[in-house]
Amino acid sequence: MMSGNALRDLNTLPMSERTNDSSSKGNFTKTCNGHTIENVDEPEKKSPASVRINGSEAVNGGVEVTNTEVEYIESENLSDLEDVDTCIENLLPGLESKDWVRVVESLNNVRRLSIFHREAMHSMLGDLIPLVVKSLKNPRSAVCKTAIMTSADIFSAYNDDLVEFLDPLLVQLLLKSSQDKRFVCEAAERALETLTTSVFPMSLLPKLQPYLKNRNPRIRAKASTCFSRSVPRLGVEGIQEYGIDKLIQVAASQLSDQLPESREAARTLLLELQTVYEKSPGHSTTVSEQPEISSWENFCQSKLSPLSAQAVLRVTNVAREGLVIGS
């Protein structure tokens, strides 16, 4: 079950997230010794690095302004830590810091620990995840995007060990993948893709399913894509165990959704389910003996309303006809 906080997060997009995606740079205002300092850039970079202090200049009667440039590190370019024990000791205080530069550095250390020292950080996950979620909510793009990348590395490292902590991360990633700031949105989509390949679908699908009915169509679309991507990982036996009838009802409900992304995810899922149904053990024998009972058409009609069954059969029949013509 989703918490009240999670539902509020999903249904309310902060104004800070409703920005144009024309640039990955963001200007912000900073106060230093009583003076207001404006236009300190926080650009996105593609080359591997962390947080760099580029230099300083004197303004407003001698007040020194430091320009902080953030560069995002791909996972494969992260280096190991020199002092693991000290890093772990400072990790939670760093993530709780009011200094955003320190928070970014700490997030990158979480990533390093996930990759190089998984077991050393495992016992901290319960305290760590809420602080990563806090950074995901941060209006500063540098903190938010680094937290998204941190989430992806945590998914890769801990897999099903994260299931009990997953809900608040999932809420925020669905939100971030649905906003208009493109470089944050793309990072969140990559993190969600990592999630669907890291957490076993039998655990993940029930977490995703409530978001398929969210009132925000973009949330529904992202959740539909994740759901459709996860189902094939169950395999034939896993899909049968989960229930083809349950899955076909989920896919059918998304066929009429508002956004094309949801509808395409539903079509992809339906074709997968049809293939699994027709390859299921004993299906060919049953079809030869009782074709009126076991055909895909009759299965759909028995599990769905007439209109939904018609829509599903239209999708799967068109795809089948295309394959016949192509062959």
- pLDDT of 285 reads 44
Which residues, in sequence order, are CB contacts of 211 under 8 Å at separation 6+?
Answer: 10, 170, 174, 219, 220, 222, 223
**Model pLDDT for residues 213-228, shown as the tens digit of each residue:** 999 999 999 999 999 9
E-strand stretches of the chain: 27-32, 35-41, 51-59, 63-70
> Where do runs of H (alpha helix) occur along 117-200?
118-122, 125-136, 141-158, 166-176, 182-198
Q: Which residue has the tokens 């939100």?
A: 175
- pLDDT of 15 reads 41
- pLDDT of 13 reads 47
Q: What is the DSSP string of 181-203?
A: -HHHHHHHHHHHHHHHHHS-HHH
- pLDDT of 157 reads 97
- pLDDT of 292 reads 53
Q: Which residue has the tokens 């470089």?
A: 183
Name residues of the chain where pLDDT drops below 50: 12-49, 52-66, 284-288, 323-325, 327
Distance CA 126, CA 7 (A): 21
CA angle, corner 214, sides to 167 and 194, nearest 5?
Answer: 45
Distance CA 297, CA 71 (A): 53
Cβ proximity of 78 and 112 under 8 Å: yes
CA separation (Å) from 260 to 45, 81, 217, 315? 31, 44, 10, 14
